[in-house]
Amino acid sequence: MAQVVTRPQRFTPEEWKIASKIKHKNAERDRAAAERLILESDRLDSETREQSDTTLEDVDKKIDQRLNDVKYWKNELESKLDGIFKEIDVLEAFKRRVEKAIEAVQEPLHIAQTCLANREKRYDIDLVHDNVQKELIKEVEIETGANALLIRLLEQVKEQLRLNRKARYNLENDIKNKFNAESIDSHVQNLTLTSPSLYLKNGAAKIEPNSYTEQQWENFSDVNIKSAEATRLNSVQLRNVVDSTLQQTANDMQKQIELTNRAIERRIWEEKDSKAKLEEQCKDVTKLIDTMEENIKNVEKAILDKENYLKLAHTRLDIRTNRPEIELVRDPAQYKMVKEVHEIEDSIRRLQERLNESHKKLKDLDRNKLLILKDIDVKTNTIRIDEAENFNGIRKSLKINQF
């Protein structure tokens, strides 16, 4: 079956003119719109470029200002750090002075205590609380007090050194952070539009929630600087105290040593004068007294030994109190250690009683000896102690130098 062929639509010349005119008009409108868009794009590009350049320039200025601020505070911190470093070194030297002073006190103190101990070997009427005894006791008190004072002073110096080092640490940490921040911002400042390492990162345009304000930042370093300066000034003040204390301590000790020596010299003259009148009464000290003195030393040693056992028992009991909760059991070991403490304390008590009895017996023996021997033995013994053992012996080269 044949198909009917549809003839294409035909237009009149007028329609053709109208259609051509419309197409031309539309094309002209599109061209004009395109030209306007191009002009607008050029204008927008120029405007945004200028804005970006201006903003970039402003950012560079602010980064530069920030770098200047960081450098300023870093310099301030470094200046204080240098002062703290120097102060630590100086205070360390003062610490060594105090330590040496404590060491230097020990020998004079030991000598004074030994002199007192030596003079305890006097007996009978010569076991007198004379001026020598008073001056020696005062000497021990001064040197013991000096030792305690210097120990406290040393602790103060150690604590100040700790504070100095803490200030140094705070400054060093702040400087380290400033250095890192300066390095980062210097790197940022050197980046340009043509830098090859540029990249895009989502979420980069934000303020970190854990960041600080500029005022907080400045306050942090300002506090570190002021704290370090206050610490340094306290350290300087402490050094002044240390210096004056060391001088005064040495002077006080030397003055008392001289007073004691004069008292000993006077006492030796008195003892020799008395001995001359009692020359024919000279006799030796009996072995029984020596034995009793040795017994006293042994009992004292036994008491000291028992105290070590007691310390061990106390320490064990105290440590066991740290057992946790249900583990704090009253077990056989606990009862045995408690019993052990009582036994040791009883032993010490009995030994102490024996020691007291021994001292009493020694005095009785001394009195009995003096009934047999002549008073010259007392004088000879006293002269030997004060002159040979003390004055011309351990005290001969005793002198306090400035600490």
The total number of structural domains in the chain stands at 2
Q: Which of 160, 144, 147 has its CA nearest to residue 95?
A: 160
pLDDT grade for 75, boundaries at 50, 70 and 90: very high
Question: Which has the minimum average pLDDT: 20-34, 286-300, 367-381?
Answer: 367-381
Has residue 44 been placed in a domain? Answer: yes
372 pLDDT more than 70: no
Cβ neighbours of residue 236 closer than 8 Å, sequence gap 6 or more: 87
Cβ neighbours of residue 340 closer than 8 Å, sequence gap 6 or more: 309, 313
Has residue 397 been placed in a domain? Answer: yes
Radius of gyration of the chain (CA): 48
370 pLDDT more than 70: no
220 with 165, same domain: the answer is yes
Has residue 290 been placed in a domain? Answer: yes
Query: Residue 23 has what pLDDT?
Result: 81
Give the torsion through C-alpha atoms of 25, 27, 32, 34, to 10 deg: 160
Give me the domain span that covers residue 290: 285-372
CB 126 within 8 A of CB 386: no
30 with 100, same domain: the answer is yes
302 with 391, same domain: the answer is no
- Stretch 319-339: mean pLDDT: 85
167 with 308, same domain: the answer is no
CB count in 10 Å sphere of residue 256: 22
Task: Tell me, letter by letter, the H, E, C secondary structure of the chain.
Answer: CCCCCCCCCCCCHHHHHHHHHHHHHHHHHHHHHHHHHHHHHHHHHHHHHHHHHHHHHHHHHHHHHHHHHHHHHHHHHHHHHHHHHHHHHHHHHHHHHHHHHHHHHHHHHHHHHHHHHHHCCCCHHHCCCCHHHHHHHHHHHHHHHHHHHHHHHHHHHHHHHHHHHHHHHHHHHHHHHHHHHHHHHHHHHHCCCCCCCCCCCCCCCCCCCCCCCHHHHHHHHHHHHHHHHHHHHHHHHHHHHHHHHHHHHHHHHHHHHHHHHHHHHHHHHHHHHHHHHCHHHCCCCCHHHHHHHHHHHHHHHHHHHHHHHHHHHHHHHHHHCCCCHHHCCCCHHHHHHHHHHHHHHHHHHHHHHHHHHHHHHHHHHHHHHHHHCCHHHHHHHHHHHHHHHHHHHHCCCCCCCCC
CB 84 within 8 A of CB 171: yes
pLDDT in tens, 204-218: 777 778 888 889 989
pLDDT in tens, 213-266: 889 989 999 999 999 999 999 999 999 999 999 999 999 999 999 999 999 999
Distance CA 203, CA 49 (A): 23
CB 181 within 8 A of CB 67: no
Has residue 135 been placed in a domain? Answer: yes
Query: Residue 286 has what pLDDT?
Result: 61
5 pLDDT more than 60: no
- Stretch 281-296: mean pLDDT: 70
- Stretch 327-346: mean pLDDT: 86
275 with 156, same domain: the answer is yes
Has residue 56 been placed in a domain? Answer: yes
55 with 111, same domain: the answer is yes
What are 394's two structure tokens? 């351990």
Residue 216 amino acid letter:
Q
Compute the mean pLDDT over every residue in the chain, rounded to the nearest whole number.
87
142 with 264, same domain: the answer is yes
169 with 239, same domain: the answer is yes
Query: Residue 393 has what pLDDT?
Result: 85
347 with 260, same domain: the answer is no
356 with 240, same domain: the answer is no
- Stretch 261-275: mean pLDDT: 90
Share of the chain above pLDDT 90, in %: 42
Query: Residue 278 has what pLDDT?
Result: 64
pLDDT in tens, 165-191: 999 999 999 999 999 998 988 888 888
87 with 163, same domain: the answer is yes
225 with 185, same domain: the answer is yes
Query: Residue 48 has what pLDDT?
Result: 81
Has residue 49 been placed in a domain? Answer: yes
Cα–Cα distance list, 180 to 20, 150, 176, 213 (Å): 72, 44, 6, 18
Q: Roughly what angle, to the nearest 10 degrees, separates helices 214-277 and 375-383?
A: 140
Query: Residue 220 has what pLDDT?
Result: 92
pLDDT in tens, 108-150: 999 999 999 999 998 778 889 999 999 999 999 999 999 999 9
Has residue 203 been placed in a domain? Answer: no
Give the torsion through C-alpha atoms of 333, 334, 339, 345, to 10 deg: 120
Has residue 314 been placed in a domain? Answer: yes
pTM of the model: 0.64
